[in-house]
Amino acid sequence: MAIPDFQTLMLPLLQLAADGRDRTLADAREALAGKFGLTTDERGELLPSGRQRRFDNRVAWGKVYLEQAGLVESETRGHFQITDRGREVLATQPRRIDISFLERFEEFRQFRNARHRQEPREVLSADPGGLQSQTPEEALEQSYLAIRSDLASELLQRVKASSPQFFEGLVVDLLIRMGYGGNRAEAGRAIGSSGDEGIDGIISEDRLGLDNIYIQAKRWEGTVGRPEIQKFVGALHGKRARKGVFITTGAFSAEAIDYVSRIDPRVVLIDGAQLADYMLDLNVGVTHRATYELKRIDSDYFSEE
C-alpha cells in the first residue's frame, strides 16, 4: 500500500503509547510499518534530498504534532509516552486524529500560528492542501523541486537561444566543473577545434592527459535519433577512441538510448533536461540566491551528565 501520510499515523502512534510505557521512535516505526503492511521498498523510500526516509520522517512529525497538542510527552530525544490528556482522547474512541482534531487544543493552535508566521510563503502554498498532507520537510522539498524545475526550464531556453560559440563555451565550463580538461585555456582549444568526421572536440579525461574524451555538442530543438549517434560512433572508431559524450539541447530517441547501451566504445548521452540539471548542480549559468538551514536539537548540549 502507499505510505500513509503523517496525519494518518497520529492515532496509531497514540494507541501504541496507550499502555503508558516509554516508547522509542524506532520501535514505533517497526510497529506501524507492520500495521500498514509496508514493503521493504516503501520503508526505504527517501525524501528528494536523499537524507531521510519518507516513512521515518512522517512518523517523527506525527509524534511532534501529538506532542505539541499535549497528547504525548518526550523527555528524551527519540522517545515519547502518553499523557493524561492523551488517555482522555483515546477514551473517546476517535476514528481519526489529524490537524483539524488537534486544533481544539490551545497549545497546538499556538504552535500552528507560530509555524505559519515562520514558514516561507512558497512552502505554505506548496500544494492545494498546504501543509495538511505533508510534513514540513516534504512541503519545503516540494517547493524546492518546483522552483528548481522552473529554473531548469528557463535555463534550457536561454541555452537554446544562445549562439553556437556561446554553447561551445558553456560545454567547456561544464566539463571543467566536472573535473575534465585541466584548465579553461586547454579545454577551450579542444572544444570546437576539431569539427571533422562528426567530432566537435577532444578533451582530456584527467589533468595528466592519460586518456581523451571525444565530444559532439548539438543545439537541437527536436529529437536526436540513432542515425546521428551512429555517425558519432563511426567517428570514434576512426579515431580508435574508447569514450565519447554526445550533448544536445533536445532529446534522444529510445532507439538511440538503446543503441549506446549495447556498443563499444562507451558513449554517454546528455540531453537538454540533463544538461540543465548539471548546470544547476555545478553552478554554471546560475547564481546563488538564498540558503535555508534545517536545524535540530543538539541533545548533547542539554545533557547534564
The CATH number that applies at residue 108 is 1.10.10
- Tell me the HSE value of 51 on the side-chain side, using a 13 A CA sphere: 5
pLDDT exceeds 80 at position 115: no
Q: What pLDDT score does 123 carry?
A: 37
Residue 239 inside a domain? The answer is: yes
pLDDT band at 121 (very low <50, low <70, confident <90, very high): very low
Confidence class for position 231, pLDDT limits 50, 70, 90:
very high
Q: pLDDT at residue 78 above 60?
A: yes
pLDDT surpasses 90 at 64: yes
Give the residue-averaged pLDDT of 74-78.
84
Domain end residue (candidates: 118, 145, 180): 118
Residue where a domain terminates, one of 86, 118, 150? 118
CA distance 123 to 155: 23
263 pLDDT band (50/70/90 cuts)?
A: very high
Q: Percentage of the chain surpassing pLDDT 70?
A: 84
What are 171-222's pLDDT values in tens digits?
Answer: 888 888 888 876 655 655 555 554 555 677 788 776 666 678 888 888 888 8
Q: For residues 281 and 61, is the Cβ–Cβ distance under 8 A?
A: no
pLDDT at 146 (0 to 100):
86
Domain boundary among 84, 118, 152: 118
Is 296 part of any domain? Answer: no
Q: What's the mean per-residue pLDDT of the chain?
A: 85
In this structure, the answer to whether residues 107 and 168 fall within a common structural domain is: no
Residue-range definition of the domain harbouring residue 188: 163-270
Question: The domain spanning residue 263 has which CATH number?
Answer: 3.40.1340.10
β-strands 223-224, 212-218: how paired?
Answer: unpaired
Q: Which residue has the cell 492542501?
A: 129
- The pLDDT of 130-149, averaged and rounded, is 80
Residue 259's contacts (CB-CB under 8 Å, 6 or more residues apart) are: 226, 229, 230
Number of domains in the chain: 2
